Amino acid sequence: MDADSRQEAARAARLDDRERRLDRLEERRNAGHEARDRLADQREQRADRRDVAAMEDLLRSGAGPAQPRADPGD
């Protein structure tokens, strides 16, 4: 193998190594985004459960949703 071939092989190896490192970085970044999205979904589900529990408490207490006022002109 002559010097040019060795240099070309070394350059190709460095490029392959860079591509692998970039792939790993992208995978970690994507995993971070997925984790962030899962946490946001969990927060939203907890808020929904709290809202439902609060409405159930209101209904059990008899407070129910506000009723529209009757128009005095009727």
Report yes or no: 31 and 38 within 8 Å, Cβ to Cβ. Answer: no
The per-residue pLDDT for 35 is 94
Rounded CA-CA distance 12/8 in Å is: 6
Q: 10-residue block means of pLDDT along the chain (74 residues)?
A: 90 96 95 94 96 92 67 62
Question: Which sequence spans correspond to the domains of the chain?
Answer: 1-56
Q: Largest Cα–Cα distance of the chain, in whole Å? A: 102
pTM for the full model?
0.53
pLDDT of residue 74: 55
Instruction: Specify the DSSP class assigned to residue 69.
Output: P
